[in-house]
């Protein structure tokens, strides 16, 4: 979706939970607080046959005494300040949308300058 320059539209959600495409940008930036985790699950294809594929995802690193987490406030503030997020209301419904490619590249630049830009230890 990022490469296709799609628009991210969130209906009734907040920024946290409504902009999950930003995790893809973290992966592109190879942030040091995430690493690939293999999923040990049985997966079946659409025909019901067991898949032999291995799956992985770019997960937050967990240590013995802490876990990395995202603090989305800095990027939210920067997105608002630079017009990367548009907010609308239709009655009580909140609508948030952004150009995934433009906002993603903006976020990528921030991460390239500071890989811990939106990371905190919990």
Residue 52 forms part of a structural domain: no
Structural domain harbouring 23? 7-31+63-121
> Beta strand 93-99 with 7-11: parallel, antiparallel or unpaired?
antiparallel
**Alpha helices, DSSP H only, in 19-99?**
22-29, 73-81
Which letter does DSSP use for residue 6 in this model? P
Q: Give the confidence band of 88 by pLDDT, cuts at 50, 70, 90.
A: very high
pLDDT of residue 74: 95
**106 within a domain of the structure (yes/no):** yes
Does residue 37 carry a pLDDT above 80?
yes
**Residue 11 placed within a domain:** yes
Residue 91 is assigned to a structural domain of this protein: yes
Q: Residue 53: inside a domain, yes or no?
A: no
Share of the chain above pLDDT 90, in %: 65
In a domain, 37, yes or no: no
38-69 confidence digits (pLDDT tens): 887 788 888 898 887 778 889 999 988 999 99
When the pLDDT of each residue in the chain is averaged and rounded to a whole number, the result is 91
Neighbours of 61 (CB within 10 A): 15
Residue 78 pLDDT > 90: yes
Cβ-based neighbours of 44, under 8 Å, separated by 6 or more? 50, 51
- How many structural domains is the chain composed of? 1
């Amino acid at each position: 979706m990022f490469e296709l320059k799609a628009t991210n539209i969130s209906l009734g959600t907040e920024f946290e939970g409504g902009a999950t495409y930003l995790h893809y940008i973290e992966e592109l930036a190879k942030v040091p607080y995430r690493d690939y985790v293999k999923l040990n699950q049985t997966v079946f294809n659409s025909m019901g046959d067991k898949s032999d594929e291995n799956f992985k995802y770019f997960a937050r690193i967990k240590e013995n005494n802490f876990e990395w987490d995202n603090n989305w406030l800095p990027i939210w503030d920067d997105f608002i300040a630079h017009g990367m997020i548009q907010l609308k209301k239709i009655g009580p419904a909140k609508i948030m949308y952004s150009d995934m490619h433009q906002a993603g590249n903006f976020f990528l630049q921030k991460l390239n300058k500071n890989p811990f830009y939106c990371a905190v230890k919990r």
